[in-house]
Amino acid sequence: MIGRLVGKIVDLDGSVGVIDVNGVGYEVEVPLGTFDEYSVGDDCTLHTHQIVLQDAQALYAFPNKPMREFFRVLIKISGIGPKSAISMLGVLTLSELVRSVSQRDTSALMRVKGVGKRTAERILVDLSDRVERLPYALAQSQIDSSSLQADAETALVQLGFGRTASRQAINSAWYDGIELEELIRTSLQRLAR
């Protein structure tokens, strides 16, 4: 299994890209918006989930581990495949997904193309017991840290960085207990690469 890629972007096309890792190009599919602030030639680190079927292979990539873990939870739900799960993660943030489940709000899930009321209700039922068992960094920390991350994102945007690139830098720099100043400083270092 391929769990992580660290390399250069050699091709971009919406939510599909090719990452060159030591001369081998890996085609990955990412949630919509992940590559918005990247250009061909940029370095990136992506956490991946590989799916091998009898007639095809697919590599799904995410800017952080919590997003990959949520993807893995989503694809275990009956009727939700990798395409639907990656689409959902491109439309909704992790905190929006966790909030939707905890508040049993189908309207947020229905913003995703192909998710109707019954599918949204099934997702809520299946996720209601699973969200509590997700790692702390995914569920609780996503909710608790949202204001700190929002403050850091605002600071980076005011410094002239794009919102998506700022979010990605913040997500990759994040760890439990990080202070705002350190989060901004580490995110700036990642954006300067």
Whose CA is closest to 7, among 30, 33, 40, 29?
A: 40
The verdict on pTM exceeding 0.85 is: no
- Per CATH, the number for 65-140 is 1.10.150.20
What pLDDT, in 10s, does the model give residues 134-170? 654 354 544 455 677 878 888 898 888 888 888 888 8
The CA distance from 142 to 139, in Å, is 5
The CA distance from 129 to 133, in Å, is 7
Q: Would you give the DSSP letter of residue 63?
A: S
- Per CATH, the number for 4-62 is 2.40.50.140
What is the mean pLDDT of the segment spanning 178-185? 85
pLDDT surpassing 60 at residue 186: yes
Please count the other Cβ atoms lying within 10 Å of the Cβ belonging to residue 120.
Answer: 20
Percent of the chain clearing pLDDT 70 (strictly above): 90
Percent of the chain clearing pLDDT 90 (strictly above): 26
